[in-house]
Amino acid sequence: MSRIGKKPVSVPSGVTATISGQTISVKGPKGTLTFTATDDVTIAQEDGSIKVTPRGTSKRARQQWGMARSMVENLTIGVTTGFKKEMELVGVGYRAAMQGKDLKLSLGYSHDVIFEVPQGITVATPKPTEIVIEGIDAQQVGQVAANIREWRSPEPYKGKGIRYKGEFIFRKEGKKK
């Protein structure tokens, strides 16, 4: 039994959920999101909540059960409050600034990195060493954060690089003389 899958997803006020076959569409104050579930689960709307149940007892059906429920919950959270990832730049001379709709990163390379922000995502730089990524789609917010981090991921000796806020970087001891 999936502990996550058993819980129904409550639909907050101001949010409308429409189910047609295996596709669920959620509309709220921040926008509209859709998700198409596999044929291994059934999505039903019951008295102000959405319930996901598996079709059968196969391993794949049980795997999809919890995942589909989490995806539906992410839709409702996204259209009401949205998702946010905060990142920080650690290193001498590492800076970030918005240049129109693009993010300009100075990361110690011989050139500045220009990162094009995809549609549906807002990026802000409250300080030159902080990046805040916001959007309604959890997967897209996480992917943009991962793509930015990929330019200079934290290294274990000095801890320099782009890291998520509050992330622990395991530090190594350097060479001994």
Q: What is the pLDDT of residues 11-45, one digit of tens each?
A: 988 899 999 989 999 999 999 999 999 999 999 99
Residues 19 and 59 in one domain: yes
Residue 84 dihedral angles phi and psi, to the nearest 5°: -145, 135
Residues 64 and 98 in one domain: no
Residues 98 and 134 in one domain: yes
- Confidence label for 174 from pLDDT (cuts 50, 70 and 90): confident
Q: How far is it, in rounded angstroms, from Cα 171 to Cα 138?
A: 30
Residues 23 and 73 in one domain: yes
Q: What is the mean pLDDT of the chain?
A: 92
- Confidence label for 141 from pLDDT (cuts 50, 70 and 90): very high
- pLDDT at residue 175, as a whole number: 87
Choose one of 27, 57, 80: the last residue of a domain: 80
Choose one of 80, 108, 137: the last residue of a domain: 80
- pLDDT at residue 1, as a whole number: 64
Contact partners, residue 41, CB within 8 Å, separation at least 6: 52, 53, 54, 55, 61, 64, 65, 68
Q: Do residues 118 and 103 lie in contact, with contact meaning Cβ atoms separated by under 8 Å?
A: no
Residues 10 and 66 in one domain: yes
- For residue 118, the Cα-to-chain-centroid distance in whole angstroms is 14
Mean pLDDT of 150-154: 94
**Beta bridge partners of residue 122, listed in sequence order:** 134
DSSP summary character for residue 165: T
- pLDDT at residue 47, as a whole number: 86
Q: Name the residue range of residue 159's domain.
A: 83-164
Residues 69 and 127 in one domain: no
- pLDDT at residue 162, as a whole number: 95
Whether the model clears a pTM of 0.85, i.e. scores above it, the answer is: yes
- Confidence label for 4 from pLDDT (cuts 50, 70 and 90): confident
Residues 35 and 66 in one domain: yes
User: What CATH number should be reported for the domain holding residue 73?
Assistant: 3.90.930.12
Residues 69 and 89 in one domain: no
One-letter amino acid at 85 equals: K
What whole-number percentage of the chain has pLDDT above 70? Answer: 99
DSSP states of 71-105: HHHHHHHHHHT-EEEEEEEESTT-EEEEETTEEEE
Residues 119 and 156 in one domain: yes
- 40-94: pLDDT as tens digits: 999 999 888 999 999 988 999 988 999 999 999 999 999 999 999 999 999 999 9
**Per the domain annotation, does 176 fall within a domain?**
no
Is pLDDT larger for residue 2 or for residue 61?
Answer: 61
Number of domains in the chain: 2
- pLDDT at residue 123, as a whole number: 96
What whole-number percentage of the chain has pLDDT above 90? Answer: 85
**Beta bridge partners of residue 54, listed in sequence order:** 41
**Per the domain annotation, does 51 fall within a domain?**
yes
Residues 75 and 87 in one domain: no
Choose one of 19, 45, 80: the last residue of a domain: 80
